[in-house]
Amino acid sequence: MTFKPEDIDLLIEARWIAAVDPDVVLKNHTVAIHNSRILAVLPTIEARDRYKAEQRVTLDEHILIPGLVNLHTHAAMSLMRGMADDLPLMEWLQKHIWPTEAEHLSPQFVYDGTRLACAEMLKGGITCFNDMYFYPEAAAAAASELGMRAMLGITTLEFPTPYASDADDYINKGLAVREQWRNNPLIGFCLAPHAPYTVSDATLERVLTLSEQLNLPIHCHIHETRHEVEESHAQQQQAPIKRLEKLGLLGPNFIGVHGVHLIESELALIATTGSSIAHCPTSNLKLASGFAPVVRMRQLGINVGLGTDGAASNNRLDLFSEMHLASLIAKGTSGDASALPAREILRMATLNGAIALGLGHEIGSITAGKAADLCAVNLGNLETKPCFDPVSHLVHVAGRESVSHVWVAGKCCVDHKTLLNTDQNDLESAIALWQNRLEVRRER
């Protein structure tokens, strides 16, 4: 009896595969993909016998990894990249970012800025991003156009912006957009109260109720600067994280962004509640916020993912840079060269971020049954040779320029470094127009 191979959509053959879960690096293996999902991970010789693929991609000098998960960004702020550098956080926000947004924020601003961010992130191997910004309908349209997975924030503040008038208006508009996009498998939503210092107790209580009713993650800046913590003690007689805990927000659905200035008892609180942290090392340093105690977080079992923050305060949406810097900071601040080894860093950039977003069952590892969100990194160039440990190379040698292919839900978004699904000339023209508009404001 002759064995008939199974017809499938795609076989990706790679020299190495870093599955992340399980924590193994497989050599000369293949990922079989059909109907957007991973069917199997198996030796290449077996895969060629078992499957007949409509397309086969051979990556002789590459490592295939899960698509990277950017756990915190403000995508549309890509249009303000480098606009107000070398300033402390509050001056940067109050004197430059918020005034610019007051004048220019619009659906078109968010659509074009998010298209730019998605293009940059996809070319750097990021397949999913967790966003906190305004006009989520425009961000959803941009991400969908480029074929990217996005968790969009229902951003909430107490004060008005061109987008909304008050906290209830922000939430109601965000929920309406969620309803419009609820059947799109690549677009999800988080509740995103900006920070304890910009959101009232009443609003935080409504956020918690909605989180419990709709099973949505909560995405919130916490303990980013010493000033924030000191102001909270002066005005609320407690630390921001303690206030959130008393209101009931901490838990497995909570993602605290930055977490730079947390003391031992506060770290224990995050650990015992099962909350996650989005670690943004470049932004923390660029705004002089400080060094987040990530080594201690991991010792306590806190789930830590990696984020870039926005391009206005980074200035790159580049998780390869974040992986490298997070590893070096952990070693330097702890005095322990073994702190945050490469495999743990890769997990932070993939599965940990997925778990924080409630997507750990869907993405974050190269596991049969999960969505085929994948990134291929070429380690065959002269500057990446020799290669004794391909995962170490991901963190300490390769950069986003080494990304050759990216798939989201089994569909190719980057092919041989070429971005698909968008008109690059149209995007470049839109960005040039926004640069001219923003430069006019800066010169006034």
How many Å is the Cα radius of gyration of the chain? 21
Q: Write out pLDDT tens, residues 207-256.
A: 999 999 999 999 999 999 999 999 999 999 999 999 999 999 999 999 99
Q: Using 50, 70 and 90 to split pLDDT, how confident is the model at 2?
A: low
User: Quick one: residue 433, left, alpha or beta (phi over 0 = left, psi -120 to 50 = alpha)?
Assistant: alpha
pLDDT, one tens digit per residue, over 101-135 is 999 999 999 999 999 999 999 999 999 999 999 99
Q: Which helix (H) or strand (E) holds 154?
A: strand 149-156
- Structure tokens that stand for 410 in this block: 């089994």
pLDDT the model gives residue 442? 65
The per-residue pLDDT for range 400-426, each reduced to its tens digit, is: 999 999 999 999 999 999 999 999 999
Q: Which residues in 290-430 belong to E strands, given as ranges?
A: 303-306, 374-378, 403-408, 411-415, 418-419
Q: Which two tokens stand for residue 32?
A: 């079989």
For the cut 80, the answer to whether the pLDDT of residue 372 exceeds it is yes
The answer, yes or no, to whether the previous bond of 386 is cis (omega within 30 of 0) is yes
pLDDT at 440 over 80: no
Whether 1 has a pLDDT exceeding 60, the answer reads no
pLDDT score recorded for residue 7: 97
The pLDDT of residue 298 is: 98
Pairing of strands 51-66, 374-378: antiparallel
Two tokens, residue 370: 């999960």
CA–CA separation, 207 and 309 (whole Å): 22
More confident residue, 195 or 444: 195
* Torsions phi, psi for 7 (to 5 deg): -75, 125
Quote the CA–CA distance of 438 and 432 in Å, as a whole number.
10
Closest CA to 105 of 438, 422, 439, 432: 438
User: What is residue 340's predicted lDDT score, i.e. its pLDDT?
Assistant: 97
Contacts of 413 (CB under 8 A, 6+ apart): 122, 127, 146, 147, 148, 406, 407, 419, 420, 421
The fraction of the chain above a pLDDT of 70, given in percent, is: 99
Question: Is residue 355's pLDDT more than 90?
Answer: yes
| Predicted confidence (pLDDT) at residue 269 exceeds the cutoff of 90 | yes
> Percent of the chain beyond pLDDT 90?
94
Angle, vertex CA 217, rays to CA 89 and CA 241, nearest 5? 50
- Strand order through the sheet with 411-415: 37-43, 25-34, 6-18, 51-66, 374-378, 403-408, 411-415, 418-419
Q: How far is residue 290's CA from residue 418's CA, in Å, rounded to a whole number?
A: 37
Do the beta carbons of residue 245 and residue 269 sit within 8 Å? yes
Q: How confident is the model at residue 18 (pLDDT cuts 50, 70, 90)?
A: very high
pLDDT band at 88 (very low <50, low <70, confident <90, very high): confident
CB-based contact 258:73 (threshold 8 Å): no
Q: Compute the mean pLDDT over every residue in the chain, rounded to the nearest whole number.
A: 96
Whether the CB-CB separation of 31 and 11 falls below 8 Å is answered with yes
Q: Phi and psi (nearest 5°) for 396?
A: -115, -10
Find the mean pLDDT for residues 30-45.
98
Give mean pLDDT, residues 165-175. Answer: 98
What domains can be seen in the chain, in order of their start residue?
6-66+371-409 (2.30.40.10), 68-356 (3.20.20.140)
Residue 92 pLDDT > 90? no
- Please give the helix or strand (H or E) that residue 199 lies within, else none: none
Are 134 and 109 within 8 A, CB to CB? Answer: no
Residues 6+ away with beta carbon under 8 Å from 186? 143, 144, 147, 148, 149, 150, 408, 409
* Nearest to 355, CA basis, from 319, 307, 303: 303
Residue 5 has pLDDT above 90, yes or no: yes
What is the end-to-end Cα distance of the chain in Å, rounded? Answer: 80
3-class DSSP state of 62:
strand
Pick from 415, 376, 410, 374: nearest CA to 8: 410
What are φ and ψ of residue 157, in 5° steps?
A: -135, 165
So what's the pLDDT on residue 441? 62
Residue with tokens 């208006």: 169
35: number of Cβ within 10 Å: 10
Provide the pLDDT for residue 439: 87
Which of the four pLDDT bands, split at 50, 70 and 90, describes residue 93?
confident
**Residue with more model confidence, 441 or 314:** 314
Tokens 């080494």 appear where? 402
Confidence of residue 90 (pLDDT cuts 50, 70, 90): confident
| Per-residue pLDDT band at 392 (split at 50, 70, 90) | very high
